[in-house]
Amino acid sequence: MQVILFCYGSCLGSFGTAWAYRRMRQESLLYPDSHCETCQTPLKPWQLIPIWSYLILRGRCTTCQTPITPVTFVAEVLGGTLFTTLNAATWLPISWLACWGLAALHDWHTQTFPAWLSWIGLSLALWGHSPVVWLIVVFINSLMNWLWSRWPVPTIGNGDLEFFLSYGLMWGLTAMAHWLLLAASLALIINQRTTQLAFIPYLLISALFWWLIASS
């Protein structure tokens, strides 16, 4: 069963990467068929198998030998690992993590992501709360975005702020402190020479790490 769940999760990670990349290039998700972005060679069915194909190809296109971005491989491994913890009691946090995983993949490519992903994540975090709490959180989120839009030179994206709010609702303030510390540390270590970065992926990796620790 765990193997099947891992396969499902890795397929979702692969799909999320393709969706984010094609959305960045304003391409249809259905057309054209999967291909090398450099030489445009269509991929064979076995080259679409998550994780396995990347290892067999050694991270390069068989035709032009252009390196394949490791983001896809990492997303497939993390997606598969996440889904191995799926059961009747964990569907809600896993759905929440999967939603923000799609946002992270999109943010990695474009430093933005669709607003509806944030609202889905917020709705999952509010699952089971009273209508009063829903109204309060929606008001806070709307106010936060309104204030951000009037910030002359924002030093953080409004998507990051929405992730903070969503995570705090899902896991609590104590867990949030550990989560932010790890995410910020990863971002500083990996992006020492970058003044502008996509922060959502680091927030997600930190969230996945703490979730897997709690589930082990």
pLDDT of residue 42: 83
Report the amino acid identity of residue 159: G
Q: How far is Cα 85 from Cα 102, in angstroms, rounded to an integer?
A: 18
Report residue 145 as tokens: 């975005």
**Cα angle 111, 112, 116; round to 5:** 155
pLDDT of residue 111: 84
Instruction: Point out the residues of the chain with pLDDT beneath 50.
Output: none
3-class DSSP state for residue 156? Answer: coil
Q: Sign of torsion, CA 71 73 76 80?
A: negative
pLDDT of residue 28: 76
pLDDT of residue 26: 78
pLDDT of residue 40: 78
Q: List, for residues 24-61, the tens digit of each pLDDT value.
A: 777 777 777 787 777 878 888 888 889 998 998 888 88
Where residue 193 falls (left for φ over 0; alpha for ψ -120 to 50; beta otherwise) is alpha
Give residue for tokens 């927030």: 203
190 by Cβ neighbours in 10 Å (0-12 / 13-18 / 19+) ranks as exposed
